[in-house]
Amino acid sequence: MALIAKSLSDKPRQFVELVDGPDDICRLCPHLMATGECALEEQVLVKERDGIVLKMLGVWPGERLSYHELAARLAAVADSSLPKKACIGCRWQNFCDELPLR
Between CA 65 and CA 93 the distance in angstroms is: 22
HSE-up (13 A, CA, CB side) for residue 52:
17
Reduced to 3 states (helix: H, G, I; strand: E, B; else coil), residue 36 is coil
**What is each CA distance from 45 to 6, 73, 86, 88, in whole angstroms?**
27, 23, 9, 10
The 8-class DSSP code of residue 4 comes to H
6-54 per-position pLDDT tens digit: 888 899 999 999 988 888 888 888 989 999 888 888 888 888 888 888 8
Of 7-16, 52-61, 69-78, 85-94, minimum mean pLDDT range = 85-94
50-62 per-position pLDDT tens digit: 888 888 889 999 9
25 in Cβ contact with 2 (< 8 Å) = no
CA angle 64, 21, 73 (to 5 degrees): 40
